[in-house]
Structure 1
């Protein structure tokens, strides 16, 4: 028997939205979550996609994430915005922040938005990409529950703490750079667990400090930092720019994103938007020249090409989803 099924994008959104609504989320929250998770799945980011629905439902049912929370926005300074996600899901907070931040950057040149009392915020680059589609250069930093030891240590103290960047391109989709500061995001390990598949050696260490290929053991241990001490240093930088700057819990104090146990994660994210034409006119022409220079090198490609290819394939063929996950989604959508 084939261990995968194919879902259309509309069907995947419908199932996700129904699962979230059945768990108690407001209809607009369920729509926001469904749009983000299906977009992640379609872009090839399975670890931030449909595999997250069971844990989101568990959080919502337990009240760990408030599915009925409505984010609020305030402007504490001329070029700064602050969003209180109210211990709800992160996506409605970003739906509120992104257009407001783009507009503010258009007046001030650069603007910063901080999201507090937040949760898992999905594909970091997606939020930057949304700003780039509005003509802004964007950077984002977000912390996560501790899963990675500081360099030289053996106990988790930092999250996988992603960093992402996007810039508008004159003829085509935005340039997007998106990476965890760990070797891989924990979501990829979660996705492997859902599939019952091993993970490659080098991704994670078990609780005993030894390398493991078992995703269950890996989720109880630590993930390896990207590029050794450099990745650990970047994770620390992101912790400062998100949790410390944005008013969130440190990763070492944040609860798990994978279940409904414990208090809200209380994470934070910081998003920066820049209007390039206010800083130095001619940005679009320079970006076109940069893209042409890179394209002229045999074998070279800009970051994000696989993401765009995955989206086109998903649009044409649907999403290939593990059969077990499909069955789980349908059960959750029915309220089971």
Structure 2
């Protein structure tokens, strides 16, 4: 492991992405998001993605110089076309418009189409919480979860995130994917020749398996069984049927360099508490629940661990895997 400051990590990642074909603005926006995830301990969505994004730009799967544009606005809604570019600039544009609308109308829905991997879902909600509003984020991803009772992967792991601001405290930050475990855990187990627990994955015949190789050829088990599968379906429809984006089964795997342009969808909901019960009511209800949760020994507020790790990284620097750092330096031409 190697120690690197937040600023140096962002600069290195941005240089690597720009050299791989991203515009300066897209590279910087993407680097900030990946370093955010790395600092919060979500390394699967952190700096290891720099090489993946660079490879996909080189293969033509994503256009690093694309400019996201607002395709349509109506009332409290807006849809942004990422134009097959990196997701972060498009998501920033969508959320900026949604926050403006929510301040005026009380609520807003912003969607992104023709998009790409959008990193840690919770990242996109920080600006919303900082403005004192509630945010929810949804995205689909390449197929990994089968429809309940089926064999073929159709839905992505389809993350859901929610953030609730607090007065005088860090937001409640909820972020989860809808598979029982991350696909990366199967990849590690397969590489090490180890079995996986029953309930993590299904084989090509739709049957539970402890063989990670068969699980990788089959599908990921949804979190919570049929309930998780229904949530994955809900997210899939929210981010595609409303936007024209690709379904998960229409997007090639992110774990391979060759493939199609994924054209994924994202959707963000922004709610201004002042337009509902009022800011004071919102703050009181949040803090009453937080106090009740913390009165029970062993309870940890959602997001508390992430924010603690981020504070530590800000003061001490990031511990980054040597291979990841070397890869980024090579891509940056250092």
TM-score, structure 2 normalization: 0.91
Out of 97, 104, 117, the position equivalent to 2:101 is 104
**Residue 135 of structure 2 contacts residue 164 of structure 2 at CA under 8 Å; is this kept in 1?**
yes
Bigger shift: 262-271 or 201-210? 201-210
Q: CA deviation at 1:128?
A: 2.2
Q: Once the 2 structures are TM-superposed, how far is the Cα of residue 210 of structure 1 from its aligned partner?
A: 5.7
Query: How far did residue 203 of structure 1 move?
Result: 3.3
Q: Which of 200, 203, 222 is the equivalent residue of 1:225?
A: 222
Whether 2:268 is the aligned partner of 1:271: answer: yes
Please give the per-residue CA displacement for 1:242-300, whole angstroms capped at 9, x wherever unaligned: 11122200111112223332221000011010111111112122212222222222222
The superposition leaves residues 93-136 of structure 1 with CA deviations (integer Å, 9 ceiling, x where unpaired) of: 11212222111101111110010000001111121232111111
Name whichever of 314-323 and 137-146 sits farther off: 314-323
Kindly report the root-mean-square deviation, in angstroms, between the aligned alpha carbons of the 2 structures. 2.3
Cα distance in structure 1, aligned partners of 2:74 and 2:304: 38
1:283 maps to what in 2? Answer: 282
Query: Can you give the 5+ residue segments of structure 2 that lack an aligned partner in the other structure?
Result: none
Worse-superposed segment, 129-138 or 229-238: 129-138
Indicate whether 1:143 and 2:156 are aligned: no
In the TM superposition, what whole-angstrom CA distance separates every residue of 1:34-76 from its partner, at most 9, and x where no partner exists? 0011111111111111111111001111221000011112443
Shift of the alpha carbon at 1:327? 1.8
Task: Identify the match of residue 48 of structure 2 among 51, 72, 75.
Answer: 51
Contact 2:145–2:157 (8 Å) recurs in 1: yes
Matched, 1:120 2:117: yes
TM-score relative to the length of structure 1 = 0.91
**Structure 1 position 329, deviation (Å):** 1.6
State how 1:1-40 maps to structure 2 within 5 Å: 4-40=1-37
Q: How many residues align?
A: 330
CA contact (8 A) 1:110 1:274 kept: yes
Task: Give the drift of 1:213.
Answer: 6.3
Structure 1 residues without counterparts, runs of 5 or longer: none
Q: CA deviation at 1:14?
A: 2.0
